[in-house]
Amino acid sequence: MAAGTCRTDVRYRVRGLRDCLNVDDFRTLARRRLPAPIFHYVDGAAESEHTYRRSLLAWDEIGMAHNALVDVAAVDTATTVLGQRIAMPLLLSPTGTARLYHWRGELAVARACAAAGTFYGVSMGSTFSLEEIAAAADGPKLFQLYVFRDRGLSIELIERCKGAGYAAVCLTVDTPVPGMRERDLRTGMTVPPAFGWKTLLDFAAHPAWTLGLLRGGRLRMGNLENRAEGRQDITTLARFLGGQLDPSVTWEDARRLVEAWGGPFAVKGILSVADARRAVEIGASAIIVSNHGGRQFDAGITPIEMLPRIADAVGGQIEIILDGGIRRGMHVLKALALGATACAMGRPHVFGLAAGGEAGVRQLLALLHAEIRRNMILMGCATIDAVSRSMITNDRIAGYPIHKGDLGMAAV
């Protein structure tokens, strides 16, 4: 070992949930339990996956200082997002086709979220219907919308959300067309599937996953049943959903959905100050600063790098949710310090679901909640509001000046 280095690569094996201490461990276990095409579908990203990797690494470039001798005997991690009081400033982003990862799919995630006291983002492409998911567990839920070519379908989904008691909806705006995900092309995870004999052998080598899939019955897209012609299987409905993506959507379309919903409304996929301001203008309650996990556009800046610019432009006018590369509770606190109201994560909870169903998601959320609380104590922050930009030690992030004047901390 070279002088001055610190060895951290302790050898260990992740055999089950008891061995999972962080998101990477859940990912390792998920990779073991899923057939390769399914794992790479969730783990992969667009084109060269450069943006995805940068979203993970950008956090390491942000330093924080702590305040000493602060009374942190009683720490409160709770906050309010989209009109709902939640136990921690972390919610789950919409991710589709959850039954591909565990046979209980979205129902398991909804129950885990309710137990953790936080928001569950329900995907347009969920394998259970939005009504079934709402009935599965209490707790606030956010439904993902698109502006479809058939505008009536978007309005119909809004009315269904009202009837099912959803707390909020979010409009995803960064998907005018699907991204080019090369891993899926190589594994045959396409619409329709193009699986070869090696893939079928891989399915056979994962009997627990295969039996679980069979146990759950026919794969569905519960929110779109009876919308497409022909068989109502997942391949037909996925093709229908892809065909409904409309590259002609404008901010006026988004405004109409805000008005039709009439409640807490988020716009997901914001990565510029100009678009953040437009979201304020149309009356949105929140923006989700996100690059879709790097699954769409492979030349985009990372959400955490854009966050301080956006927060300085619209902070106080709209809630700001940061979604991108969250893997630690400390990442959540860094985002809060840079102006986020809360954070959201997608892939990590899918890894938890694949690793252990509802129990896996519960454990993942509990670990991250504990990390948030522990680091708040270490930082000298008794409440979420006490986390501030003055604790950031960087002068600039992606070339943007972070501090306007004195940092205001003796520790820096």
Could you state, in order of their start, the residue ranges of all structural domains in the chain? 17-182+241-400
Number of C-beta neighbours around residue 131 at 10 A: 16
Residues that are catalytic = 292
The answer to whether the pTM exceeds 0.75 is yes
Q: pLDDT class for 231, splitting at 50, 70, 90? A: low
Q: Is the pLDDT of residue 259 over 90?
A: yes
Q: What is the pLDDT of residue 234?
A: 73
Q: What is the pLDDT of residue 8?
A: 59
Angstrom CA distances, 183 to 39, 186, 197, 242, 353, stand at: 10, 5, 17, 18, 21
Q: Is the pLDDT of residue 169 over 90?
A: yes
Percent of the chain surpassing pLDDT 70: 94
Q: What is the pLDDT of residue 199?
A: 86
Average pLDDT over every residue of 21-46: 96
* CATH code of domain 17-182+241-400: 3.20.20.70
Q: What is the pLDDT of residue 412?
A: 30
Distance CA 90, CA 369 (A): 8
Phi and psi angles of residue 203, each rounded to the nearest 5 degrees, phi first: -60, -45
Q: Which two tokens stand for residue 26?
A: 């859940």
Alpha helices in 177-233 (DSSP H): 182-187, 197-204, 207-215
Q: Is the pLDDT of residue 3 over 70?
A: no
Residue 234: partners with Cβ closer than 8 Å, 6 or more residues away: 97, 127, 219, 220, 221
Angstrom CA distances, 346 to 16, 30, 47, 55, 401, stand at: 21, 14, 19, 13, 29
Return the ∠ at Cα 100 (arms to 94 and 105), rounded to 5°: 60
Residue 363: partners with Cβ closer than 8 Å, 6 or more residues away: 17, 20, 352, 356
Q: What is the pLDDT of residue 68?
A: 95
Q: pLDDT class for 405, splitting at 50, 70, 90? A: very low
Q: pLDDT class for 404, splitting at 50, 70, 90? A: low
Rg over CA atoms, the chain:
21
pLDDT, averaged across the chain: 91
